[in-house]
Amino acid sequence: MTTSANDTSETSATSATIESALLQQRPVKMLIGGQWVEAASGKTFATLNPATGRTLAQVAEGDAEDINRAVAAARKAFESGPWPKMTPSQRGRLLWRVAELIEEHAEELALLETLDNGKPIRYSKASDVPLTADHFRYFAGWATKIEGETIPVSIPNMFTYTLREPLGVVGQIIPWNFPMQMASWKLAPALAAGNTVVLKPAEQTPLTALRIGELMCEAGFPDGVVNIVPGFGAAGAALAAHPDVDKIAFTGSTEVGKKVLQASAGNLKKVTLELGGKSPNIIFPDADMKWAIRGALTAIYFNSGQICTAGSRLFIHRSVYDETLGQLAEAANAMRVGAGMDPATEVGPVISQEQLDRVTGYIESGKSEGAVARTGGERLGGDLSDGYFLRPTVLDAVSDEMTVAREEIFGPVVVALPFEEVEEVAARANQSIYGLAAGVWTSDIKKAHKMVSLLKSGVVWVNTYNQFDAAAPFGGYRQSGYGREMGRAVLDAYTQIKTAWINLR
Ligand code: NDP
């Protein structure tokens, strides 16, 4: 295994500049009604750098009172003022401008994301920032294409048509694993459709969402259209229960997703949930093994395994099991683990001490049930001991029933499981409360299509993994949630249909 704790001097200098600038502008305020304000309570909380455990910034701590203020501002902006009078084209231009501003501030946003979340800067630059900009641009295009239909009813002299209208005030609650991308997945389609928004970022990673809020103000969004309230779970709960919120879009754990659903019942909010996963990644013996092993590494270690689609159950055909697992463990062991600010880093820290404890707890539970770590399994020390670094871990001698094979670990830990037959592996892969994503590695086109049809999940990747595009719908089956993000499909979640009957007689 290679560790890389030392930044290059140039990146380190930029990082130090941003860190000190952040610490100077204490506290980072919240966005309500077009104003940057402190929490009503005056409280703040610390957001940490997971690579060092040090405080990065103090942030205004929103609670139920701030959610009330933000919802009132969003309601006012939805009902009156410039927003409801804007044409779809004007809304689209604003979203397009946000994409441009994100690109103009790409370097700063990438650094901020890496500092706050810990992810390798190479991914913040190559993936998080461009995909965030792309999301705004893609939905800028949709603003002018949200169409109704004419309906050929069978009643004489009636002209019947539908309009697609916005829902109203939308509450959006996002997690810490892709803070900037998650903000764009939520904000862009909601605004393209003409809603107003109150966004609650995760307590661990509020900084890039707030920065994007600043860029949205700069782009010209009217006051109150976008409100961003950082805070703890209680702020999310207040948003989910608020009687004047029309819809909640939530991404996070299945456990909290269920709470959000219960809280939303009071005024029958529309709810969409993008929740957890325990995704199977299946390697057949006829696969191109070099790519399959690379793909299996990406599937589980990308973002330190903190991704809802993580390929955390690796099924390998028994005929190639030992050899493939040996190569995978060797490659995992060779990955460069280190501070995200180091451009050479491939695997950064996990998000927090709590998450580190949770993931190591799972590894210990696996071992106590008989699993064996082929590589990894422990926290890293030395230069990395202040951060939350874990070695990429491969668990062998696992059975389908073990906790580590059933529950979402959300860390750099894969469990390996041998299989023999197509139907058998599909049935075992489907044996989960989740159904978010699945991977298949084979050079047999018939087998590929068969697996696509057998696997019960919202996305199936064949000979690739973790591909996302603003145009391609994404979401879960079963307890991975419902509703879809991205593509045309997400617009259904942010609009409602009005049917008009005109008597022509
Ligand atoms: P949560 O589901 O708790 O957090 C997601 C978001 O919901 C955060 O903004 C959080 O706020 C907010 N929240 C927390 N409690 C409530 C509530 N009662 N009502 C409304 N909103 C609430 O995830 P965690 O951050 O606690 O992570 C725990 C585990 O969840 C992870 O280990 C992982 O297994 C899973 N997870 C899965 C994700 C996925 O995409 N599938 C994403 C994140 C986590 P706050 O940040 O203040 O807690």
Q: Which helix (H) or strand (E) holds 263?
A: helix 254-263
Q: Per-residue pLDDT averaged across 401-418, rounded?
A: 98
Amino acid in the structure at residue 479: Q
The model's pLDDT over 184-235, given as tens digits with 9 standing for 90+, comes to: 999 999 999 999 999 999 999 999 999 999 999 999 999 999 999 999 999 9
Q: Per-residue pLDDT averaged across 6-26, rounded?
A: 64
This prediction's pTM:
0.96
Whole-number Å distance, alpha carbon 2 to ligand 1 midpoint, is 31
Share of the chain residues as helix, strand and coil, in percent rounded to the nearest 5? 45, 20, 35
Closest ligand 1 atom to the C-alpha of 411?
Answer: 32
User: Is the CB of residue 409 below 6 angstroms from any atom belonging to ligand 1?
Assistant: no
Contact 168, 196 (CB under 8 A): yes
User: Is the CB of residue 241 below 6 angstroms from any atom belonging to ligand 1?
Assistant: no
Whole-number Å distance, alpha carbon 256 to ligand 1 midpoint, is 6
pLDDT over 50 at 3, yes or no: no
The gap from C-alpha 292 to its chain's centroid, in whole angstroms, comes to 24
> What is the predicted pLDDT for the residue at 6?
44
Whole-number Å distance, alpha carbon 195 to ligand 1 midpoint, is 24
Say how far apart CA 15 and CA 457 lie, in whole Å: 40
The one-character DSSP state at 29 is P
Task: Report the chain's mean pLDDT, rounded to a whole number.
Answer: 96
Report which of 284, 324, 292 is spatially closest to residue 447, judged by C-alpha positions: 284
Active-site residue flag, 308: yes
The model's pLDDT over 17-71, given as tens digits with 9 standing for 90+, comes to: 777 776 676 569 999 999 999 999 999 999 999 999 999 999 999 999 999 999 9
Say how far apart CA 283 and CA 268 lie, in whole Å: 44
pLDDT over 70 at 1, yes or no: no
pLDDT over 70 at 467, yes or no: yes
Active-site residue flag, 274: yes
Say how far apart CA 372 and CA 396 lie, in whole Å: 5
**pLDDT, greater one: 23 or 437:** 437
> What is the predicted pLDDT for the residue at 17?
77
Pocket test for ligand 1, best of 253, 278, 357, 474 (most atoms within 8 A of CB): 253
The one-character DSSP state at 220 is T
